[in-house]
Amino acid sequence: MADDASTNAALRTYLWESAPVLALRLDAGHGVTEANAQARQLLRSELLGRPFADQIVGFTRPADVPALLRQEGVVHPLTLATAAGLPETVGFRFFPVRGGTLALGSPDFQEQQALRNQMLSLNRELNNLTRQLQQANAELKELNQLKDRFLGMAAHDLRKPIGIIMTYLDLVLDKAGPQFSAEHREFLRTSLQAATGMKELIDGFLDLAVMESGHLRLEVAPTTAGQLLTDAEAIARPLAERKKISLLVEPGDGTRRLPVDGPKLQQVLLNLIGNAVEHSRPGQRVWLGARWEEQSVVVAVRDEGPGLAPEDQARLFTAFGRAGPKKTAGKRSTGLGLAIARLIVEAHGGRIWVESQPGKGATFFCTVPAVNDAAQPPSRNAP
């Protein structure tokens, strides 16, 4: 009898502390009153004091626990909610004991092994895909570098002859005498306009190639938002006057100093103002303004043009991302200006965006931090 008692005690200790099975004691109401170490580790922490049915995942209908308990010794595969959040199938047998029921469950080792093999297979497939993606990324990076070099060389080689063509066309127009008819002069002006557009495209290619290659250098010097707006307005005014567009400057507190690359930010502003003017009709207005928000200045360019649809705004700042209505003067856009503006603003640690509704004009914003730990804006400088 002593040996039997010792054996029973050892078995009980093993079952409740070490056995790789789930052991649950249920009271007469089928609530869990005791759980062994394996059950506490596998199942939800709020196990004790809750109905056993709460642990079962009923994919089709709730489990009929009283019916299961009446089938003594029969293995019932039940899917349980685990502490890890993943359901797991366990084969349970139910035995009547004093004051309730003993539920003994053994995990479905075949299912576990199948899941383990599936995970290993998926992991191998994921590793293969990762290697393929890394190889594709390396090839894409090399192709992108080749593209940048090609565009840079091609644009550089084209810039000089286009400049010569423009110089001589302008000279011929200036020196043309009565031997040139009005029609011939118009031919020359059209040729000069086409050459000018070509030069703008070439300049855009060069700028974009430099910036996307990470070799943009910022020549930082103190200036003010008011000075940036005034200079940009002075340069853009002839274009606006030709179209009979009013340029209005509202610099706000434009006297505070900014550590920025003035010429590059002026390039951004001239692009935004030029777009606003080109999309406006005679008699409309374009506003230039600036305001301070904590340690950043927010510059805005607002027009009364046709506005932009949401789907156009999404691709507006990407290279060749021409979007929205055509310019009122019929001038063809290269689709590079706003992409270059975005890169310049981001190189200063700022951002650029547009707010617009169709038929209600558009407002372009860009922010530029005024102060940072390095005493100058972050840049995409070459090492």
CA quadruple 269, 275, 280, 283: dihedral sign = positive
Using 50, 70 and 90 to split pLDDT, how confident is the model at 365?
very high
Residues 6+ apart with CB under 8 A from 214: 380, 382
CA angle 211, 368, 263 (to 5 degrees): 55
CA distances from 70 to 27, 78, 93, 94, 104 (A): 14, 16, 11, 8, 15
pLDDT tens digit sequence for 182-230: 888 788 888 887 887 777 777 776 777 667 666 677 888 888 888 888 8
Amino acid at 248: L
Using 50, 70 and 90 to split pLDDT, how confident is the model at 144?
confident
In this predicted structure, what is the pLDDT of residue 363?
Answer: 92
Helix (H, G, I), strand (E, B) or coil at 77: strand
Using 50, 70 and 90 to split pLDDT, how confident is the model at 362?
very high
Residues 6+ apart with CB under 8 A from 189: 173
Rg (CA), the chain: 37
The residue-averaged pLDDT of 51-65 equals 74
CA neighbor of 102 nearest in space, from 169, 164, 29, 25 = 25
CB 148 within 8 A of CB 209: yes
In this predicted structure, what is the pLDDT of residue 222?
Answer: 87
Look at 321 and 1; give whichever has higher pLDDT: 321
CA distances from 324 to 272, 305, 329 (A): 14, 11, 14
Amino acid at 330: G
Using 50, 70 and 90 to split pLDDT, how confident is the model at 327?
low
User: Above 50 in pLDDT, residue 383?
Assistant: no
CB 299 within 8 A of CB 228: yes
- Domains of the chain (ranges plus CATH)? 2-107 (3.30.450.20), 114-212 (1.10.287), 221-369 (3.30.565.10)
pLDDT tens digit sequence for 81-130: 888 777 788 888 888 888 888 889 887 666 666 767 777 888 888 898 99
CB 288 within 8 A of CB 229: yes
User: Above 80 in pLDDT, residue 240?
Assistant: yes
Please name the residue that has the structure tokens 């372009």.
364
Which letter does DSSP use for residue 284 in this model? -
Q: What's the mean pLDDT when you consider all of the chain?
A: 80
**Percentage of residues in the chain with pLDDT exceeding 70?**
82
Query: Which range among 256-270, 297-311, 362-376 shows the weakest confidence by mean pLDDT?
Result: 362-376
Query: Which range among 179-193, 290-304, 326-340 shows the weakest confidence by mean pLDDT?
Result: 326-340
